[in-house]
Structure 1
């Protein structure tokens, strides 16, 4: 998950209960936040314990010590990221548009967005990305099996759009983005990496709506559409049940 403004993200979580599945993730950012505020390692540990006691039912300071240790180790010495977004340039857009197929375009656009994010955080990264392949395809809104994922990435490599750390052993977790043109005029501003592929589709003219129920971005299929397919089904079931109840009364 790409967090553009880690300060705001941590402050939001400080006011909410944390689910166990996200405890490690949340504690990492909360720990970074307290280090950012100038707290010592011992003070951060105490702050994290206090946070978990307030916001996680069943938290045990002794039994869950390893969780706190990992959060502190991952956060100490790392600066907070505070970005509004990243810009994709006109020259970069033209290169992506030269690719055949909307899925390939969405994938390349998403990888370029990630590279722009990493270089904004650390200019020494030189447009390398290290995200998990499954996460990249999810953000690109490209749903294909693992074999097809590898084929698409290899095709981008063969076309000269990306490079690998080693040609002897292709590692999709270390991809070098080779199409960056930062000096070209800005064309697309990206501030939502979770929907990067959808943003590209919108740029290309496809209409999307945000589901009123779950917030998911889905392609527009009707002028009065308010929900994604799943939520629309649930809403219809609920309305039908209410109508039957009124009729029975």
Structure 2
């Protein structure tokens, strides 16, 4: 079993991505793990196509868990066992850019269509870096949404979502999440994260908050418990002594 586990680590974490498919129609996979969940094809390598199951995504701060699927083009023999597909529960660290296995299921059929011939539940592997160009890095980008950690305190951690950057001349808009370690209160509502849109003036080194949403869950998940817009005419200076300078550097491309 140990040999099989180590072999799977080498296959999944080191395999390079040689080609990426255009957006594909969702597929469905049965069996244990994400049963009857929607599989979204992310791309292909020389040896297999790889899929993500968005219905199994679970957030806990910067850590995200998700089931993945590898569907091989030909029979694979690992530690004396032949398989055509495998489902793997993976945990991704969106802040540190690394991943680890939590459980795996190996199948003798394509797309995990039958009962697994081997399972390895609840045995976390070591953490591995999500190396650029690898399959795991593609999955990490898919599930993490390119969150960039800006800073943290004993109360909260601040992240920027680079996929939301919008340029208009020397003005840049970007969304951020302030993720709290404990439940916070605002008026009659309780929340664990604050998602807000910021606008930065890259020329005058100023910023302003355009709007905010308070969420019942961490990392902008759960229900919106409160929302509001800010005074869009109120610009604040970027100060070297706080996080606004780090956020301004990321938004304006001066890292």
Q: Normalised by the size of structure 2, how large is the TM-score?
A: 0.24
Looking at secondary structure, tell me which structure has more helix per residue: 1
